[in-house]
Structure 1
Amino acid sequence: MKKDITILITSDIHGYIFPTHYRDRSDQPLGLAKLATYIKKKRSAGNVLLLDNGDLIQGSPLTYYHSKYHRDTENPVIKVANALGYHSAVFGNHEFNYGLDYLRSVVEQSEFPWLSANVINEQTGKPAYGKPYRIHEIEGVKIAVLGITTHFVPNWEDPNHIKGLKFGDALETAKVWVAKIRKEENPDVMVVSYHGGFERDLDTGEPTERLTRENQGYQMCQEIKGLDILITGHQHRSLAGKVNGVTIVQPSNHGQKLGEIQISLFQEGDRYKIDSSSSQLIEVANLTTNKDLQELIADFEDQTQQWLDTPIGEVEGDLSITDPLETRLKDTPFIEFINKVQMDATGVDISNTSLFNNDSPGFGQKVTMRDIVSNYVYPNTLSVIRITGQDVKDALEQSASYFNVVDGKITVNPSFMEPKPQHYNYDMWEGIEYELNVSNPVGERVTKLNYQGQSIDENKEYEVVMNNYRAGGAGNFDMYIGKPLVKEIPIDMTELIANYLLDRKTIQATCNHNWKVVQ
């Protein structure tokens, strides 16, 4: 007897339910409410397993608003996920951003299990808050789904948000559990749902980025015996195909695409065996919005939109951004403003920050919460670390690798664009004076570096404020790893920016031109 089963996968939804990016109210090709149209249609036609691969509950203004002001109420994202009938979800790294109390509430409200075999309770040594795996039976076919989370979470997360947890190596944990599940459960289909991605080319195995073991998907396909399906995420890439005979998928982010895996099985005795499997990506652009799903949280969405339009302050001067590349080539009022907020919050006189993506519009004359969250898109807090002048120089050299010179023009290094844009890994500083000559070889681009009018002392220590993500060394800033933590500000930057504006009512756009990039 033949059986056909469909697995539908979402990943990195980041709280985007409605088809909006929240910078305005325009309809955009994204969001779980659009994907729901295809999910419901597919479910009505056959055997469907619906899985989420992590980073579900954090990342949009709606989730931020809930976590900050309404965390004791029903979680709108989980309300939608319950209505859609997810079979399971995996903990992504961003599930921990709002703290463990919030995460416990999410797990308790969910009508589906959360999975991760390598997020471990330090005291018990067992998987924390969720289960390692789940067995799904669909018309006699036994499907095992093992959850695995990227073990790099401690590199980024506020330690208070993961207190009492440890994160086992994703690849090694998956090996152990797949063997255990195969032996004890004897499933017909073995799925690993891994909130992580690939550091190697899927066809050649050649490194596509620095090999950090953050994204071990390729190795999983090569080294895990008995693996049939590998679901990936975390990198926000659009991938479908096979690696070493293992069917893989990665369905982008923000609900822009849906992963679909088709499995055809035949019966042999009392078991089913896979005859064939394939994967594809469903484009949300071709789907209409499911109104019933929207209606579930329409009131809370309206509250979020009203909150976003709340005026915070006014600007005298120009804090707009018209050209993101130009913004990264020389000091501008907007970047200087963000650094000033960071220095004001921490009381130090050296700061760095990023222009996180190319969609940041800067501020107009009147600033609302919508303007703030449109520009500062991550739930970062601030850390002050003590580093040497040599560390400052090394960090500037790392940032300078963001640029290439092609045909006499400064361009962005492709390594910061593939496999996903990483504009957030280029930092701009306030409190020092520096010049980067990007015609020089990588590693020799810092041609000027002063502090208070004098050449910086490479052996002297300086206190520098930056976001918590960077302070942990993320983005290949290894020079920060293990450096003394002087101070933490456990308030999200969006709130710090809002408070800065509320306290002053009107701010001046200033620019001291303390740095530039030349060729």
Structure 2
Amino acid sequence: MSVQQCEIILLETSDLHGFLLPKGYASHSTVGHGLARVASIVKEIRRNHPHTLLIDNGDCLQGTPLTYYHAKINSEPPNPVVACMNELRYDAAVPGNHEFNYGLPYLRSAMKESVFPWLSANTIEASTGKSMFGQPYMIRELDNGLRIGVLGLTISYIPNWERPQHIEGIRFDDPVESARYWVNRLRKQEGVDVVIVSYHGGFERDLTTGQLTEPLTDENVGYAICEQVEGIDVLLTGHQHRAIADCTVNGVCVVQPSSEGRFLGKVTIKLSKNEEGWIVEHCRSELISAAGFEPDEEIVRIADEVESLTQAWLDQPIGYVDGDMTIDSHADVRLREHPLIEFINRMQMDVSGADISNTALFDNQCAGFGERITMRDIISNYVYPNSLNVIRISGRDIREALEQSAKYFELDENGEIAVSPAFLMPKPQHYNYDMWEGIHYTLDISRPVGQRVTMLERDGHPLDEDMTYEVVMNNYRSGGGGNFPMFKNKPVVKEIATDMVELLADYIRERGRIVSSVNDNWRVMSGGNGAF
């Protein structure tokens, strides 16, 4: 008797972050990634493979000025991200943590516009006990009778980051336990032949050695899913913005396609059928770079309406700078105080009434402010939709937080200060190094981790570790995000729900001109020598 064979092509995007068009928003430059380029790859593959599934693994609705403009300024046009995904005929999408950034009404509106299902087995409406997205999984049955199950899972660490009003009435169950229950149901009750789990989350361990690569929290549990849940053939991952392919964990084929449409994840599954049913004979993942593909014209056309409105809005002048707030070296900004960081901290203190503030330089694309400030400048420098919280913490908490930030640095073989690999891999975490205002401090990187704060004062006196202080910071950090447990569950003195981009724009607009200055209240050193 002849053996029937079948090949399935599984395509994944993840962490698109609203990057539809191959444009850089800080300037008008062309870049080699974005969904429009990925779309050309998808359409080419579909022409040659009849059994193809396309899944988005989360964090698609937030991340660019285009998505901010649609969510915050003018949401009358159809959601541009969803419209492009509809055009590409996505089979399903899984919500990521950033899907909640603009609130539940905006997310539900995007879901309503989608012609594809959103899948999340562990994102539960507390009032009903059911998935807020309607269904935990989908099943695709081919003409040959092959049944493919796709289970969606969302990172459960969201309550540690997100504003409470954005997730009110929602709970996030453990992804490992949810996977165990629903994969068993797909296999035993639904009788699927192939199980694909699309998990918006990444890996907590090295994929080769199994060694722990980050603090063992609930943020990333991809490795545990592969190790502890039987019956999974493919695990689609994301969140960490890593490029992972041609890899298996405990026999599970895994893939992660970086971010912003830099790659399309592709998994080829080859099956055969005998008298016992379908058997997966071979499974291999790979990444296809978007850089070599021209943008798809239809995606460009769909995105163009909101894109044109966004570009006009971005170029509106907000105010002016007396002095220089441009960034020449991102490394130098983190080694000695820069006028941009001083300004953001001072603004946070002014609008909140707090006497102490911290903030970060989020990435290495920030250009600072030139003489003329536009909305483009503000969004390019403050890339996350954060709000502000004032929390009450002890002097000891402040010292511990400074020690945590000091882990960002290490000494290289020449004794020079460099960025610790832990903040570069598995993804860059420049946003987890804070710089403070309202206190004076020194970090000595030649000293052991945990003993690097060599001077910590306020108003010319050593900071009292037993006293409490009111400190303003973004909502991500105040919830303990970025490995700052000393802030978690501390009393919230004040919440400022307005988005930071709006706060910055209003603050600059009201003043017309802002002054570039620093007070040099902190420094980073190496063995008694300044790092600059």
With the shorter chain as reference, the TM-score category is: over 0.9
From 391, 394, 398, give the equivalent of 2:400. 394
From 131, 135, 145, give the equivalent of 1:131. 135
Q: Which runs of 4+ in 1 moved over 4 A?
A: none
SS of the residue corresponding to residue 46 of structure 2 reads helix
Q: Partners of 2:415 and 2:238 in 1: how far apart?
A: 37
Asked whether 1:248 is paired with 2:254, we answer yes
- The C-alpha deviation readout for 1:406-462, integer Å capped at 9, x for no partner, is 222011111011101001000000111111111111111111111122111111110
Which residue of the partner structure matches residue 312 of structure 1?
318
Answer whether contact 1:196 1:235 (CA < 8 A) is retained.
Answer: yes
- The C-alpha deviation readout for 1:220-252, integer Å capped at 9, x for no partner, is 111111111100000000001211111110000
Which residue of the partner structure matches residue 428 of structure 1?
435
Which residue of the partner structure matches residue 6 of structure 2?
3
Which residue of the partner structure matches residue 374 of structure 2?
368
Q: How does 1:206-225 map to 2 (within 5 A)?
A: 206-225=211-230
From 64, 68, 73, give the equivalent of 1:69. 73
From 22, 42, 46, give the equivalent of 1:43. 46
TM-score (norm 1): 0.99
From 515, 518, 527, give the equivalent of 1:511. 518
Asked whether 1:414 is paired with 2:421, we answer yes
SS of the residue corresponding to residue 517 of structure 1 reads strand
Q: How does 1:60-209 map to 2 (within 5 A)?
A: 60-139=64-143, 140-209=145-214
Which residue of the partner structure matches residue 20 of structure 1?
23
Unaligned runs of 5+ in 1: none
Q: AA paired with 1:385?
A: I
Q: AA paired with 1:266?
A: S
Q: AA paired with 1:92?
A: G
Unaligned runs of 5+ in 2: 527-532
Which residue of the partner structure matches residue 490 of structure 2?
483
Q: AA paired with 2:15?
A: D
Q: AA paired with 2:45?
A: K
Which residue of the partner structure matches residue 529 of structure 2?
none
From 465, 468, 474, give the equivalent of 1:467. 474
- The C-alpha deviation readout for 1:117-165, integer Å capped at 9, x for no partner, is 0001111111113310000123332110000011000000000000000
Which residue of the partner structure matches residue 339 of structure 2?
333
TM-score (norm 2): 0.96
Q: AA paired with 1:154?
A: P
Which residue of the partner structure matches residue 322 of structure 1?
328
Q: Partners of 1:226 and 1:129 in 2: how far apart?
A: 24
Q: AA paired with 1:77?
A: V
Deviates more, 1:339-348 or 1:261-270: 261-270
SS of the residue corresponding to residue 297 of structure 1 reads helix
Answer whether contact 2:16 2:34 (CA < 8 A) is retained.
Answer: yes
From 280, 286, 291, give the equivalent of 2:292. 286
TM-superposed deviation, 1:345: 1.4
TM-superposed deviation, 1:270: 7.8
Answer whether contact 1:71 1:102 (CA < 8 A) is retained.
Answer: no
Q: AA paired with 1:215?
A: N
Q: Partners of 2:348 and 2:147 in 1: how far apart?
A: 53
- The C-alpha deviation readout for 1:303-327, integer Å capped at 9, x for no partner, is 1111111111000001111111111
Answer whether contact 2:97 2:155 (CA < 8 A) is retained.
Answer: yes
TM-superposed deviation, 1:25: 1.3
Answer whether contact 1:236 1:420 (CA < 8 A) is retained.
Answer: yes
Q: Partners of 1:439 and 1:297 in 2: how far apart?
A: 50
Cα RMSD after superposing both structures: 1.0
Asked whether 1:449 is paired with 2:456, we answer yes
TM-superposed deviation, 1:72: 4.0
Which residue of the partner structure matches residue 260 of structure 1?
266
Which residue of the partner structure matches residue 30 of structure 1?
33
